Amino acid sequence: MAPNLGVLFTGLHFENPFLLASAPPTESDGHILRAFEAGWGGLVTKTIGLHPVVNVAGARTNFNRTDAEGGVSMRKRLGTVLHSSWNWELISDKTLDWWVPRLGKIKRAFPDKILVCSIMAGAGSDRELDHWQTLARACQDEGADALELNLSCPHMDRQDMGSNIGQDAQLTSVVTQAVKRVARVPVWVKLTPNTTAIVPEAGATFRSGADAVSSSNTFTSLPLIDPDTLAFELHVDGFVSYGGLGGPAILPLSLAKVAELTHAFADKEFSGIGGIATFAHALNYFLLGCGTVQVCTAAMLDHAVGPNVIKDLLRGMTAFLERHADKGWSGLADFRGLRRGRVVAHSQIRRPDKTEYHGGHDAAG
């Protein structure tokens, strides 16, 4: 019997635990329909907002590559491998009115796939909180199966938007509560990794009724400076602003954030994101306790919606379950969280002689 890749996450049945993350692969109905055809179990739309969006007058995304000498650069060279994506793209530049009929069309075409709508507004006024509710209602009325609140975009000028909300436990709580007041579908909250401690913000959002936390969005970063021209490798008129790093470079960074979260809230649900291109990568998130995972950079580089990436993920999970069938494993529930308990305080790691180290304190007299 073929292994069952289906999962139950925030009360929703996914045919497999692999989603496209909110980003260019989910920026239009055309992309989304192609993605579902390719086999993704669900996806999160590009973030939808109510304010006009105009992107920079230049490339919004580029890719850092590493060469055999360890050099990292966006410059095109032979014999390099992907290091990371770097972007300063804003949320969807299409209006809510543009999205609404298309969401309904997508759901009618793929009623069994999970369509999550990513939404964003501000937090600084009642009007902004109303915006969250307008967006939430519009998306769920068109059949969205869940909402994902974008509290994590790292390049917002407004102090009450994006990762500026996700860095503030109180604002995180206010926004979650506002959406939960009108939501009839599960509410996921995408928190920013650009914070010293992610657990307080996650606690605030869970106490306010969030059904899951998604982590990570991109990490705040800059393009490198070309040593010959002294220009940033990506710029507009010589100027640059803070943007977000994704792809292979952030896999270990995001795993640390996720481990903090799944330790602190063992009974809660998490969607893992960051640097996933293969099942081996996704497995890290599952073993730390995530119930679904999301992919962006790898899909962008694979025919825009990742048809080969999803095939590989499905093949990888099937082969993994077949390999472990002798343990009685038949699905994700059998190995989810299996390595969460192996991440411990530094002082709990064995020393050659346990009497030598006292967790950074003096030895007892």
Ligand X SMILES: Cc1cc2nc3c(=O)[nH]c(=O)nc-3n(C[C@H](O)[C@H](O)[C@H](O)COP(=O)(O)O)c2cc1C
Minimum Å gap between C-beta 108 and ligand X is: 24
- Rule CB under 6 A: is residue 16 a binding residue for ligand X? no
Helices (runs of H) and strands (runs of E) counted in the chain: 10, 15
Looking only at residues 24 through 53 of this chain, which bind ligand X when binding is defined by CB under 6 A? 24, 46-47
Binding segment (CB under 6 A) for ligand X, from list 6-14, 16-24, 229-237, 255-263 = 16-24
Minimum Å gap between C-beta 323 and ligand X is: 25
DSSP assignment of 275-304: S--SHHHHHHHHHTT-SEEEE-HHHHTTTT
Helix ranges (H only) for 167-223 are 169-182, 199-207
Query: What is the CB neighbour count within 10 angstroms for residue 350?
Result: 7
Minimum Å gap between C-beta 347 and ligand X is: 32
Specify the amino acid at residue 33: L
Ranked by CB distance to ligand X, the top (closest) residue is 246
Minimum Å gap between C-beta 72 and ligand X is: 16
Sketch the per residue contact string, 199 through 238, with ligand X: x for CB under 6 A, - otherwise: ------------------xx--------------------
Contacts of 122 (CB under 8 A, 6+ apart): 128, 131, 158, 160, 161
- Rule CB under 6 A: is residue 275 a binding residue for ligand X? yes
Contact between residue 282 and residue 312 where contact means Cβ atoms under 8 Å apart: no
User: Applying CB under 6 A, what is the total number of residues that bind ligand X?
Assistant: 29
Binding segment (CB under 6 A) for ligand X, from list 107-115, 147-155, 255-263, 343-351 = 147-155
Contact between residue 247 and residue 298 where contact means Cβ atoms under 8 Å apart: yes
Task: Round to whole Å and give the CA distance between 230 and 224.
Answer: 10
Minimum Å gap between C-beta 31 and ligand X is: 13
Contact residue for ligand X among 169, 179, 276, 288 (CB under 6 A):
276
| HSE-up (13 A, CA, CB side) for residue 283 | 16
Binding segment (CB under 6 A) for ligand X, from list 226-234, 273-281, 314-322, 325-333 = 273-281
User: Does the annotation count 117 as an active-site position?
Assistant: no
Task: Round to whole Å and give the CA distance between 18 and 9.
Answer: 12
Minimum Å gap between C-beta 355 and ligand X is: 43
Minimum Å gap between C-beta 232 and ligand X is: 17
- The residue from 139, 153, 290, 296 that is catalytic is 153
Closest CA to 150 of 136, 166, 137, 138: 166
When the beta carbons of 152 and 176 are compared against ligand X, the nearer one is 152
Measure Cα distances from 51 to 35, 54, 149, 157, 203 in Å.
Answer: 27, 10, 16, 13, 29
When the beta carbons of 47 and 173 are compared against ligand X, the nearer one is 47
Looking only at residues 84 through 103 of this chain, which bind ligand X when binding is defined by CB under 6 A? 85, 87, 89, 91
Contact residue for ligand X among 5, 9, 10, 22 (CB under 6 A):
22
Contacts of 137 (CB under 8 A, 6+ apart): 182
SS (H, E, C) 116-181: EEEECCCCCCHHHHHHHHHHHHHHHHCCCCEEEEEECCCCCCCCCCCHHHHCCHHHHHHHHHHHHH
- Rule CB under 6 A: is residue 292 a binding residue for ligand X? no
Sketch the per residue contact string, 52 through 71, with ligand X: x for CB under 6 A, - otherwise: ---------x----------
Contacts of 332 (CB under 8 A, 6+ apart): 5, 7, 17, 286, 291, 317
Sign of the alpha-carbon dihedral angle for 110, 114, 295, 217: positive
Contact residue for ligand X among 17, 223, 243, 246 (CB under 6 A):
246
- Rule CB under 6 A: is residue 21 a binding residue for ligand X? yes
Positions annotated as catalytic residues are 153
Residues in the site for ligand X, rule: CB under 6 A? 21-24, 46-47, 61, 85, 87, 89, 91, 118, 150, 152-153, 190, 217-218, 246-247, 250, 273-276, 295-298
